[in-house]
Structure 1
Amino acid sequence: MAKEKSAIFIIFGGSGDLAHRKLYPSLFRLYKSKVLKDHFAVIGTARRPWSDDYFRETVITSLEDYFDDDKEIMEEFAKHFFYQSHDVNDSEHYIALKNLAGKLDDQFEAGHNRVYYMAIAPRFFGTVAEHINSEGLKTKDGYNRLVIEKPFGRDLDSACELNGNISKAFPEDDIYRIDHYLGKEMVQDIPNIRANNPKLEQALNNKYVSNIQVTLAESIGVEDRGGYYETAGVLRDMIQNHVMQIIGAIASDDPKAKEAKVIHKNKCDLFASLKELSPEEVDTEFVRGQYDTDKTGEKKAYRQEDNVAEDSNIETFVAGKIEFNTDRWSGVPFYVRSGKRMPDKSSRIDIVLNDKVKELGIRPNSVVTLLIEKEDGNSILINGLNYKDAGQDFIEFPEEAEFDNAREAYESLIIDILSGNRVHFTLWDELRSTWKYIDTIRERWDSQTPEFPNYISGTMGPDAAEMLLERDGNSWIWD
């Protein structure tokens, strides 16, 4: 259990959906576990002219959607919340924010620690960061940590510009770029799984691995995010960040490393070795799709969703083959796949071993599956069976290492922010490499007109996604 933490949280976009759906419930869990107790306060800012009392009511309402706790506990928690109407372009508002934060720091004895959380549109990130710096909000005696939600840019150029603006106000060591998949328990445990299972780690290279598959599938459509998806698509929304970070966890060197700088250097080296794609290779190695209605015609096609163009060419499905130019992984395809309106929700890593692993005492052609989502069981399968029942001994855990599903992703990441632990956040050098890779695909796709829609809702995506693997003599494990 983490010890009690002290900080003033300033949440830009404090009236918004992300704050109420993810941040406030996570902060409440930390309050109940006494990680946050007496020495914290939360300032919510947004343009809406709310009072402290009304803001607290919205916080309590958001908690009631997730918890059955006594309302008195929620009200005690909400007493730590304060609101200030805020215009991100108005310097005077930042001065008022500075004064309020200082007052609350004294009131709650928060140690002059500040967490500035950007729960706002990315176009405001640079502006807010610059004003925090220029109007003197940063304290001298405590820490000042800037938390940024994705998307961090929409291509390499915009990401560079954004990073340049933020870096003028905050050093890299104080910037925490959130990728909520890095807060998921299984993803965080991958290095431990590798480090504690020598045979598995010994097998993780191009001598013994046939291919590795990463699937992030959703059964829902875009729902109320049509406007956002029209500017993003699955390639930017899922592949550039979540999928790449999962690959970083399973493929980086030295899983026993504990220091953030070492871990991030290994990931940076991996992403810097991404095999560059020619435009022609994009055509053969990547597949895009857009969902149609289902077989009964009851569900909307993507082009029928709210805030979506009737002739939209934005993808809701991507499958591709990623390769790395390293001694360890050269020649091993990393097949990735993410899409909306697939048959079920599933997030998983399938490690497909070849017949040479018998040298290591592992059954030839075994498949090791890491299930990421809690509803999937958050566990490990070998050839489709729970690792305890699979009849193989190359993966073992002491009892205390079992997954306990104790924390939600945001709860875990907020603890890391308060502790100054940057292991589970994304560095700029990682983003630069992944954006460069993704831009090649995006530029090729933007020069062509796809035949959309090309897969029926409730199916595994377009047929070309199956053919992508079949051409190499492989097939998707989750099918």
Structure 2
Amino acid sequence: MHRNPVAKLLLFGATGDLAQRMLLPSLYGLHADGLLPEGLTITGAARHDHDDAAYRTFARAALDEYLKDDRKDAGTIDAFLERVHYQPTDLSDPASFQPLADKIGDISGGLAIYLSTAPSLFESAIEGLHKVGLAGETVRVGLEKPLGYDLPTSREINDAVAKAFPENRTYRIDHYLGKETVQNILALRFGNSFFEPVWNAQGIDNVQITISETVGLEERAGYYESAGALRDMVQNHILQLLALIAMEPPARFEGTDVRDEKSKVFRSLRLIKPEEAPHVTVTGQYAEGAVNGKFVKSYSEELGQTSTTETFVAIKAHVDNWRWQGVPFYLRTGKRMAARGSEIAIQFKAVPHSMFAGRGGLLQPNMLIIRLQPEEHVQLLVMAKEPGLDREGVRLREVPLNLSLDAEFAGTRRRIAYERLLLDLIEGDQTLFVRRDEVEAQWTWIDAIREGWKANGMKPKSYPSGSWGPSAAIALTERDGVTWQDD
């Protein structure tokens, strides 16, 4: 990989929740391990009226709260905070940008901007940066979602960004792509010879992708009510995981090749027609119930009003190309579910003939389970014979071959996804960032589903908090003879 590190980093939203929980701890981790370019300065920008000293106190408090104890070192924290500066900035106020440009100073050594803002502020932010010279050849920009609410608003934002930043200097962030286990999907598929021959419609029966959360609205009520589960989770995280599972082998592990192959998958997704939406999609909204033994309120109670926003969605999707013809991809995500987890379950086809049937041996199809969280592991379920003399018949049992990444790489520090993504932004590697054509193909598919819901007047079905969603989601797979992979 050709590295082209910048000398300065500008963080918008520097006093927000994401900055405190993820960005500042990630940047500190990179600093502590000597991975940040020497002399790199970090300038925080937000509406709060801090000066450098007050922001350093704020950053120190965030590190104290969110860093693991074994990472806290007073001297290292002091040295890290010396890199940190702050400039009050209001993205909706054009007069805010010149003082920001003055604070940052010379950008001939390169500037990376991390922009996490409401979609309504993207245009004014890019315009303001452009006017004061913070968008030239030496500047690259990282964009945090949401990048619009549908294809037209996404295009609007992308057009606004493209006026100042061409595609090769634009880094759209999906933090799932920074997770080690997600990158491990590529290593599993393309680094091992035995998967590829069966990684297609001849070898695979179905693929399931689940991202389940136990939390409710938390502090995101305003955003979530206008977005819903389909936009919040399926449009980005789940579709990116689907692309990594379904893509053709790229020639090289680098930005253009990997993203070309992902883009082809999104263009191959079968659009769901309005008349199909009630049969291949399920929406739900959590009612009251118990999560982890605690009583929790319904979505509408948490929100303080009745709502038709979905907090759960399940979809039967198809990738219409040579490799995947006829293989269903079952996708689901929800809030207030029975357990927190993100996993991909790939069910292989049954063996063509069982020689054990005459002796009572029952075979289950093999399954590969890639778990991304809470713990990271890869599990292959294979058939084995139970010990015994087999006088009453052969007894076969499904047993797991486990690869626990946590245990296997116990001596290696597991990094926050944002550490990888921030370092790639600073160094100029676009491989794990999302390209415009990917985003627009994702929105095209998502918008068709929403049109189907509208055309059929589909309202979310109620499901009790602490369950696996509405019963219709179980029926979605059961009528194909498939069961969701639930722990």
Tell me: CA distance 1:357–1:247, structure 2 relative to 1, closer, same or farther (3 Å): farther
* Cα distance per residue 1:365-402 (max 9 Å; x no partner): 100001112x32x12101289xxxx87999999x9989
User: 399, 422, 435: which one pairs with 2:443?
Assistant: 435
User: Counterpart of 1:74 in 2: which secondary structure?
Assistant: helix
Matching of residue 366 in structure 1 with residue 366 in structure 2: yes
- Give the match for residue 152 of structure 2: 157
Tell me: CA distance 1:89–1:219, structure 2 relative to 1, closer, same or farther (3 Å): closer
- Give the match for residue 339 of structure 2: 344
Matched residues in 2 for 1:277 and 1:3: separation?
41
Q: Map of 1:69-80 to 2, 5 A cutoff?
A: 69-80=72-83
Matching of residue 113 in structure 1 with residue 110 in structure 2: yes
Alpha-carbon offset, residue 260 of structure 1 = 1.5
* TM-score of the two chains, using structure 1 as the length reference: 0.89
User: Counterpart of 2:437 in 1: which secondary structure?
Assistant: helix
Matched residues in 1 for 2:276 and 2:40: separation?
52
- Give the match for residue 275 of structure 1: 270
Matching of residue 17 in structure 1 with residue 20 in structure 2: no
Tell me: CA distance 1:382–1:402, structure 2 relative to 1, closer, same or farther (3 Å): farther
Matched residues in 1 for 2:400 and 2:211: separation?
27
- Give the match for residue 389 of structure 2: none
Matched residues in 2 for 1:275 and 1:410: separation?
32
Matching of residue 420 in structure 1 with residue 417 in structure 2: no
Indicate conservation of the 8 Å contact 1:30/1:411, yes or no: yes
Q: Which amino acid aligns with 1:101?
A: I
Matched residues in 2 for 1:177 and 1:17: separation?
19
Tell me: CA distance 1:45–1:278, structure 2 relative to 1, closer, same or farther (3 Å): same
Indicate conservation of the 8 Å contact 2:92/2:121, yes or no: no
Alpha-carbon offset, residue 100 of structure 1 = 1.6
User: Counterpart of 2:29 in 1: which secondary structure?
Assistant: helix
Alpha-carbon offset, residue 137 of structure 1 = 1.8
User: Counterpart of 1:137 in 2: which secondary structure?
Assistant: coil
Report % sequence identity.
35
Matching of residue 476 in structure 1 with residue 484 in structure 2: yes
* TM-score of the two chains, using structure 2 as the length reference: 0.88
Indicate conservation of the 8 Å contact 2:3/2:428, yes or no: no
User: 94, 97, 100: which one pairs with 1:97?
Assistant: 100
User: Counterpart of 1:477 in 2: which secondary structure?
Assistant: coil
User: Counterpart of 1:237 in 2: which secondary structure?
Assistant: helix
Q: Which amino acid aligns with 1:200?
A: F
Alpha-carbon offset, residue 320 of structure 1 = 0.7
Pairs aligned (count): 459
Structure with a larger share of its residues in strand: 2
Matching of residue 298 in structure 1 with residue 299 in structure 2: no
Matched residues in 2 for 1:166 and 1:346: separation?
34
Q: Which amino acid aligns with 2:97?
A: Y
Root-mean-square deviation (CA, aligned residues, Å) is 2.9
- Give the match for residue 324 of structure 2: 329
Q: Which amino acid aligns with 1:328?
A: R
Q: Which runs of 5+ in 2 are unaligned?
A: 355-362, 384-397
Matched residues in 1 for 2:63 and 2:45: separation?
19
Matched residues in 2 for 1:405 and 1:220: separation?
27
- Give the match for residue 234 of structure 1: 229
Matched residues in 2 for 1:394 and 1:57: separation?
45
Indicate conservation of the 8 Å contact 2:4/2:428, yes or no: no
- Give the match for residue 85 of structure 1: 88
Matched residues in 2 for 1:214 and 1:311: separation?
30
* Cα distance per residue 1:401-445 (max 9 Å; x no partner): 899453110001111112211111111101111101100111232
Matching of residue 410 in structure 1 with residue 431 in structure 2: no
Q: Which amino acid aligns with 1:31?
A: H
Matched residues in 2 for 1:16 and 1:242: separation?
22
- Give the match for residue 126 of structure 2: 129
User: Counterpart of 1:335 in 2: which secondary structure?
Assistant: strand
Alpha-carbon offset, residue 90 of structure 1 = 3.8
Matched residues in 1 for 2:266 and 2:4: separation?
36
Tell me: CA distance 1:3–1:173, structure 2 relative to 1, closer, same or farther (3 Å): closer
Matched residues in 2 for 1:45 and 1:51: separation?
10
Alpha-carbon offset, residue 82 of structure 1 = 1.2
Alpha-carbon offset, residue 125 of structure 1 = 1.6
Indicate conservation of the 8 Å contact 1:264/1:427, yes or no: yes
Matched residues in 1 for 2:10 and 2:235: separation?
28
User: Counterpart of 1:57 in 2: which secondary structure?
Assistant: helix
User: Counterpart of 2:370 in 1: which secondary structure?
Assistant: strand
Q: Which amino acid aligns with 1:433?
A: A
Q: Which amino acid aligns with 2:220?
A: R
